[in-house]
Amino acid sequence: MAPSIRLSPAARSLFDEPLAIAVQGLGPRQQVTLRTSLRDETGELFQASARYQAGDDGELDLARCPALPGGSFSGLEPMGLLWALQPQKPFWRLVKRDVQSPFLLQLEVFEGHAERPGRLLAQAQHERAFLRDGVRRVPVREGRIRATLFLPPGEHSFPGIIDIHGLGGGLLEPRASLLANHGFATLALAYYQFEDLPQKPKELHLEYFEEAVNYMLQHPQVKGPGVGLLGFSKGAEVSLAMAAFLKNITAVASLNAPVVATCIPFSYKDKIIPALPLCEHKAKATNSKFLDYSDVPDDPFQAPGNQSLIPLEKAEAQLLFIVGQDDHVVKSEYYATEVCKLLQAQGKGNFQILSYPGTGHCIDPPFFPLYHIGSHPVFHKRAVLGGELRAYSKAQVHAWSQIQAFFKKHL
């Protein structure tokens, strides 16, 4: 019997779902190298490889066989060939612009454990999709709002979430589309550098975000009485400001949030929260010559920085702070801990912190590759974002399930 790759699901799976990988038809205890490849929408290549030895029966099941040293990872890691994917072009990030098309994953089995691939024994292709059958993608251009709404299959109403990204600008849909597969009506919201939105806003008006909340609550398929917010980095900071100033925010999941206004001040009606001063000269060069910017902002818990603090004591929403202990962009663990101490001192208990070791600034849904050195969102120089491959892969999976459980509970 010629060797073949067996996948489950066979042809297509959602990007955040596990994929079972096995090889059958090998010789007893045969040594092989497995390689995965994926090209992004610009054609850049991501690859991972691992060395294995088949069982006495010539079967190789990644759920039962540990990877041997010498590849992208070792040990029992059934999903290692996906989470260990790394760009062949240095410092490149895997981004999905068009969620209506899947990524195509190539799997190959090569003979032996040599540095250069041996003879090709088997290959397979698999689609990693962002939309489950029946999920609807609805572009939204209502009033000032520029967004995309993802609705789960069916005609009834669903818990509503607004998904807000960080300082890169534009409209990013992967996280919102994946959440919709899990039963949430999710609005991916742009707030600058998209269509007719400001390119470089002097301040962020919370009235714009209030319009998005009202749009969701007036939608016949969004179950009220409030909405949830999921924000990353600057988007998490926006989400916390919304919870402090706006009505009808029930739950906020914040990924590595500054708990202060950074870079762009906030305004709401006649109130302005000034941006925390940043001192670029406080950036530190690391051994690898990349810059660590974590000490660049003033301490928001000491004057004069504290006038930039978001007044979270006003928030009625449940708050979930998800922080990477190795975040080198925002001191997110310190910020979350200190702000929760302030809330506790005011007699509030509407908060919870999930803290992940070996996890940097970027916390994406499961199986997105680690992006640990990249362009700093403010200074646009090569910066340490933080994170370590295996720890990060575990954090992604755990945080993603916790985010869904949090919204299911409170919405």
* pLDDT at 82 (0 to 100): 98
Domain 136-410, CATH number (from 3.40.50.1820, 3.20.20.80, 3.40.50.920, 3.40.50.1100): 3.40.50.1820
Query: Quick check: bond before 297 cis, omega within 30?
Result: no
The ranges of the chain with pLDDT < 70 are none
Fold annotation for 4-129: Immunoglobulin-like (2.60.40)
Per the annotation, the verdict on 376 as an active-site residue is: no
Per the annotation, the verdict on 196 as an active-site residue is: no
What is each CA distance from 348 to 311, 319, 340, 351, in whole angstroms?
A: 13, 11, 9, 8
* pLDDT at 315 (0 to 100): 97
pLDDT in tens, 95-135: 999 999 999 999 999 999 999 999 999 999 999 999 999 99
Pick the catalytic residue: 328, 361, 372, 376? 361
Amino acid at 59: E
Pick the catalytic residue: 219, 327, 332, 376? 327
Q: Which residue matches tokens 């925010």?
A: 249
| Residue ranges of domains in the chain | 4-129, 136-410
- Average pLDDT along the chain: 96
Pick the catalytic residue: 13, 177, 233, 393? 233
How far apart are alpha carbons 385 and 394 in whole angstroms? 18
* pLDDT at 1 (0 to 100): 84
Stated pTM of the model: 0.96
* pLDDT at 238 (0 to 100): 98
Give the other-Cβ count within 10 Å of 342's Cβ: 16
Per the annotation, the verdict on 233 as an active-site residue is: yes
